């Protein structure tokens, strides 16, 4: 079981998500999972995650809306909390990047 669940709130910005995942992959510690909380559903995101999951040092869970019915970010964050496997949760917005010591700070 991971010690930390990192929840990334995400909406249609795959380039930003790639940068966040890259930064998280360079962390000094890797005992965490990532939960992508997508307030939409796009094939590009699903395809990217399916093709790239093996490149990351951590598991990725992808929660998404079945259809875009407007702003439902908070509902998706609630789903992310329910799917978390760790007792400690860290919330990152889809445009926030971390340095390589983020996980070290929380451990």
Measured distance CA(107)–CA(63) in Å, rounded: 25
Measured distance CA(85)–CA(35) in Å, rounded: 10
**Residue 97 confidence (pLDDT) above 60:** no
**Residue 70 confidence (pLDDT) above 80:** no
Question: For 43-56, what is the mean pLDDT?
Answer: 94
Tell me the residue ranges of DSSP E strands in the chain: 4-10, 32-38, 60-64, 88-93
Structural contact between residues 12 and 95, judged by C-beta atoms closer than 8 angstroms = no
pLDDT recorded at residue 30: 84
Question: For 55-63, what is the mean pLDDT?
Answer: 95
Question: For 84-99, what is the mean pLDDT?
Answer: 79
**Banded model confidence at residue 47, pLDDT cuts 50, 70, 90:** very high
Measured distance CA(65)–CA(68) in Å, rounded: 7
**Banded model confidence at residue 99, pLDDT cuts 50, 70, 90:** low
Q: What are phi and psi of 31, to 5 degrees?
A: -85, 65
């Amino acid at each position: 079981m991971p010690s930390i669940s990192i929840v990334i709130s995400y909406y249609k910005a795959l380039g930003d998500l790639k940068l966040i995942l890259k930064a998280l992959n360079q962390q000094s510690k890797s005992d965490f999972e990532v939960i992508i909380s997508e307030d939409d559903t796009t094939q590009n995101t699903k395809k990217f995650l399916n093709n790239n999951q093996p490149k990351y040092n951590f598991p990725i869970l992808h929660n998404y809306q079945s259809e875009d019915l407007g702003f439902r970010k908070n509902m998706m964050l609630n789903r992310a909390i329910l799917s978390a496997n760790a007792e400690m949760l860290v919330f990152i917005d889809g445009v926030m990047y971390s340095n390589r010591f983020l996980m070290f700070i929380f451990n």
